[in-house]
Amino acid sequence: MERNYLSFERNTIRKKWRGRLPIALIFPNTYPLGMANLGFLSLYESLNSYKEIVCERFFFESSPEARSLESKTPLEEFPIILFSVPFEGDFVNILSILLKGKIPLNPIERAQTVIGGGVALWSNPEPLSLFFDGFLLGEWEAIEEKAIPLFLEFAVNKKKLLEALNFLDFFYSPFHFGKRRVKLAKADPLKKPLLSKITSSKAEFGGSYLMEVSRGCGRGCRFCLAGFIYRPPRGYSTEVLLERAEEIPLGSKVGLIGLEFVDREEIWKLGEFLLQRDVTLTFSSLRVDALREDFLRLLRKTKSIALAPEVTTTRLKNLINKRVEEGEIIRTLESLRESGISKVKFYFIFGLPEETEEDLRHLATFIKSLLNRSLPYQFSFSFAPFVPKPHTPLQWAPFEGEKTLEGKISLLRRELKGIKNVKIDSPWEALKQALFARGDASLGTFILKLAHGEALKRVLGEIPQVERILRPPVEKDFAFPWDFIDTGVSKDYLFREWLRALEGKTTPPCNRQICKACGACKISY
């Protein structure tokens, strides 16, 4: 690794190799981001809980070699290589890491077994299907008991390992066995909250323990992949949460992950319990409608929060099925005056279907009115172009295009001239993300050329049927590359939600006791 990150860690796992199966676990982005990803950290700790396995971490670095963080062992010496991929934007990094590690990109030419997982690949692994031996699609708790024995038995025999894995309905290996239908593995009910005990001062959350408090979201925001692919939303009882929280040392910093049920009694009790242990709570993002008086007590040691209203006009709120009212935001910020919070970050989306210049001007007006209130916070504002994601109602929506998005960025910059801490994501990066999220196996050559350093604009024209990827026909039965993945949510339901979005109709949140509309609660995992 380029830096000695181990010196900044606590509770690092150190294991000897002798007599153990070496597994490389790769997060295809930087160390600070990877060490703030609870899924990656939980998988790392889970693999190392087996006495027969030694699992070591790799991250995407600028160094010329791919060596493990723990022992500086070259990647090529690991018989099993696992990728944890939460973001489509990291697809190019995956190939770059393999190239640095002297791992042949053609699965037939290499001895190592390269397997991918993580929500970006659960969503649509097809663009990388030429380079991977296979994919484990689903939550690790539902996969672990079936996959680990196969790893241990067949690790040195790649052919037998892949044949054994291919009997599992959540394993997908189109390169070796062809395309087939796959069922996303989910743990329902959840038994034990994820809690990562490895901390690093260089992580994005700065030395925080990370603890899951619920999984999935039933709010039904129509643009959100996680909100649909993790259905049904699942939580934990107060007793289970408190029992897990007892493992967190006194005086720690804790990031709570999965605050879908943040206004429920369980979270209040958990938060109070942690504060009694002199814990500082941090949150990646909070729902404005959940910041009621009881929850505000949990923020008394928190210095910064993030809010994601996404849009500000009623029409777009209805379209994405996320109604966050400006008055509610203002009232919440007013109520936080005495909380000790000093920084507030806002997240917005632009480039949604049927968005107008007036929608963007309305958004800018809201920001100006917010700043004119002399609230005691340092504000920052982040804008991301809309990327239509698989397995969501907006998978039928077109990607607006980089030139149109550049025009909207110019408008936003004019309207927000003089305002500090404004960050607008690149439309070209959004284009790349849209292609990776929505493409098929024909995208492999394009990704490889980017990994070899070729310019995006230069190779863009070489993608076959690029318009069909970015702007598909609005037909219920249109065959998307990811349709072979059974997430539990029916395509019929997603299309009905797409039509409701166009009609400006909202849909109420999930209620598992009375609603079976999307299909996720009908499937037994």
Whether 301 shows a pLDDT value over 90: the answer reads no
Q: What are phi and psi of 384, to 5 degrees?
A: -120, 135
Q: Which two structure tokens, joined as six digits, stand for 248?
A: 């967190």
- Strand order of the β-sheet with 253-257 is 195-196, 209-212, 253-257, 280-283
pTM of the model: 0.95
pLDDT of residue 4: 87
Q: Which residue has the higher pLDDT, 372 or 260?
A: 372
Mean pLDDT of 293-298: 74
Percent of the chain with pLDDT over 90: 82
Whether 260 shows a pLDDT value over 70: the answer reads no
Model confidence band, residue 523 (pLDDT cutoffs 50, 70, 90): very low
Average pLDDT of every residue of the chain: 94
- Mapping DSSP onto H, E and C, the string for 328-395 reads HHHHHHHHCCCCCCCEEEEEEEECCCCCCHHHHHHHHHHHHHHHCCCCCCEEEEEEEECCCCCCCHHH
Q: Which residue has the higher pLDDT, 217 or 73?
A: 73
- Exposed, middle or buried, 333 (CB in 10 Å: 0-12/13-18/19+)? buried
pLDDT of residue 103: 98
Mean pLDDT of 467-493: 96
Model confidence band, residue 115 (pLDDT cutoffs 50, 70, 90): very high
Per residue in 284-296, is it b (16+ CB within 10 Å) or e — as a string? bebbbebbeeebe
pLDDT of residue 522: 72
pLDDT of residue 428: 96
Whether 494 shows a pLDDT value over 50: the answer reads yes
| Chain segment 116-132, per-residue pLDDT in tens | 999 999 999 999 999 99
Map residue 172 onto helix, strand or coil.
strand
pLDDT of residue 300: 77
Quick check: 364 and 415 in contact, CB under 8 A? Answer: yes
Q: Which two structure tokens, joined as six digits, stand for 428?
A: 């070209």
Q: What are phi and psi of 500, to 5 degrees?
A: -65, -35
Model confidence band, residue 524 (pLDDT cutoffs 50, 70, 90): very low
